[in-house]
Amino acid sequence: MRLYIITKRNLISIGFCLLIGVLAGAIAVTSTVRAVQSAAAQREIPIYYVDTDKKQVALSFDAAWGNEQTEHLLEILDKYKVKSTFFLVGDWVKNYPDSVKDIAKHGHDVGNHSNTHPHMTQMSSSDMVGQIQSCNEKIKELTGKTPTLFRAPYGDYNNDVVKSVNGCNMYCVQWDVDSLDWKDPTPEQIKQNIMKKIKNGSIILMHNGAKNTPEALPTVIEAIKSEGYEIVPISQILLKGEYYTDVDGKMCSKTATQPSS
C-alpha cells in the first residue's frame, strides 16, 4: 500500500489549479450569457400587442381562401358599430374585388397578408418584398389606399421577414389572442378562448372563413364590451411615433424608458 503525503507545496498547487478551473468556468458562463443576450437583442419581433393604459382591443380577420361569410361578418360588425381589420391575401383580392371594396367602404382597415400566402421564411428577401408589394398594389387599385399593416402567413416570421416589412414602411403585426376559430370550436369556446386572454392593447385573431365565426362574433363583441373595452381597428390601437417591441412582442413607445440591450 502506498502512502501519499500532502505537503504545503502540494496544497498550494492544488488550490491554484482549482482557482484556474473556477475562473475558466466563470468566463465560459459569462460568455454564454452575453451571447444569448446579444442574440435576443438582435432578434426582430413583430407587434403582438400594444402597451397602453386605454381599455382598447383590436379585432382582426385573416382572409386567404373562401368568401362565403365576409358579407355576414360585415353586417354583424355594422350592427354593433365596430370597426376591425381585415388582412387580405393578394389572390383573395383578385378573386373577390367587390368584397375588398365593401370592407374598405365600411370603414375597416385593409391589411396585407402576402400575395399568395407562402411560408415567407423560406424565401429570399427580394421575394418577400415582392409578395408584400404585389398585394399592396392590388389593394390600392381597388381601395385607393396602400396598406400600412402586414401579417405574415401562418404567423411565420424571422428577422428578414420583419426587416422586409419595415423596409416597405409597414407595421409587421401578429396577435396575442388567438380565437382558434380555424379549429372549428363551438361559438362559446371561441368566446372563451378570447376572453380568458384579453387585456389592454390586445390584438385578436379571427378568420373570415372559419365555420363558427359568424355565430360567435356577436357574443364575442358583447363580452368584450361588457368588460369595458372599446374595439378599434389595429391602425388606431398602434402607438404613434417611434417604437420598439420587447421580447414578448409588446409595442412600446421609445419616448418612454427603453431597457438597455
Residue 207 annotated in active site:
yes
Catalytic residue (choose from 108, 113, 117, 207): 207
Catalytic residue (choose from 62, 91, 176, 181): 62
Residue 184 annotated in active site:
no
DSSP string for residues in the chain = -------HHHHHHHHHHHHHHHHHHHHHHHHHHHHHHHHHHH----B-EE--SS-EEEEEEEESS--SSHHHHHHHHHHTT---EEEE-HHHHHH-HHHHHHHHHTT-EEEE--SS---GGGS-HHHHHHHHHHHHHHHHHHHSS---EE--GGG---HHHHHHHHHTT-EEB--SEE--GGG---HHHHHHHHHTT--TTBEEEEETT-TTHHHHHHHHHHHHHHTTPEEE-HHHHSPSSSEEE-TT-EEEETTSPPPP-
* Enzyme catalytic residues: 62, 207
